[in-house]
Structure 1
Amino acid sequence: MRVAIGSDHAGYQYKEIVKKHLEKKGFQVIDKGTYSEESVDYPIFGEAVGKAVASGEADRGIVICGTGIGISISANKIKGVRAALCTNEYMARMARKHNNANVLAFGSRVLGIDVALGIIDEFFRTEFEGGRHERRVKLISKIEDENL
């Protein structure tokens, strides 16, 4: 699986740890930046990861900033992206099972790295349940089509 990952300066250290974690599990990681702790604007990296997922360059994505809020909002501006801000494994599981989320967002300043890695593992091991949830995901896509 190809995973695009991006962060701002606040998420940079976590991004580097997450990349190694995913690579050990056999994922192909596509690093969309940033590449240092120098201050940058998170929307740039939310957009880059969102575009990678929406275009098919990546199968899924991960975005990280201080809280995960701003970068998830940015990723969600890309048509076809369903970025879910998750603070625990249950949220990650439900984001995949019920919403078919294709981008995971979290904050480096609100989660310990071990918690973040557990959330990531749950996100990638959980499959979309389909069924009644498929109808709802299609409604999300309809909203995108009408408004983006």
Structure 2
Amino acid sequence: MPRTGFKGSLTGPRVDVMVDMGNPFLNLTVDGFLKIGTVGAAKAAVEETYNIAKTGSISQHKLEHSLKKMCKEGAYWGTVAGVYVGMEYGMARVRGTRDWKNAMLGGALTGALVSAASNSNRDKIVMDAIAGGAIATAAEILNSLS
């Protein structure tokens, strides 16, 4: 039986910003903060642009609100990414190997830390740790497939 298929790949732009803090841990953490923080800010910018276009009106108040949201989202996403990258790097250093387990442990610790900073519900913190570990592990496995 004849078969048809499609095979291709999708790649994004590669942006390298080098900030030398004098320590590999700090370098990776700041790099993660800047790159993912930019993604968070861009997400907020697109959402706000859509909302402004949908309403059909623009004002200084809306622009100020949009800028504040972009800064807040960028800082939040960047902080989470910086903590994750630092945790994963720390796990690799402590364990002496680089594998998916570092991503899992780094994601779980990041999920727990971010959750504990924003609430005190133990069950929520545990669930966020599990989610962080699962997401980081899945990302690491998908990264290794390419």
Using the size of structure 2 for normalisation, the TM-score is 0.27
* Higher RCO (CA-CA < 8 Å; seq separation 6+): 1
Higher strand share: 1
Higher helix share: 2
